[in-house]
Amino acid sequence: MSAPTPRLLTVGQAAECLATGERFIRRLIAERRIAFVRIGRHIRIPASAIEAFISDGTVHPITVTSLPGRAA
């Protein structure tokens, strides 16, 4: 059995997923900041690469249980 083929997105579809323009996606590709697949002249971005890009850029909120010097 072979592994399932990953879902590949066009530059336009990737831009739509990130709610950005195609120019931003092309810049990410040029700067090698996102994984991509070259099929001849065509560029495709694995859906997993979009998910990884989002999780790598996610900033989690700081949770503070108590602040020093303040009464509860």
* 72: in domain: no
Instruction: Give per-residue pLDDT as tens, 26-62.
Output: 999 999 999 999 999 999 999 999 999 999 999 988 8
Residue 62 covered by a domain: no
CATH number at residue 26: 3.90.105
Query: What are 44's two structure tokens?
Result: 């495709």
Any domain includes 12: yes
Number of domains in the chain: 1
Q: Which domain holds residue 33?
A: 8-57
Residue 69 included in any domain: no
Per-residue buried b or exposed e for 43-57, using 16+ beta carbons within 10 Å of the residue's own CB: bbbbeebbeebeeee
Q: pTM of the predicted model, to two decimals?
A: 0.76
Beta-carbon contacts of residue 33 (< 8 Å; ≥ 6 apart): 53
The 3-state DSSP composition of the chain as helix, strand, coil percent (nearest 5) reads: 40, 15, 45
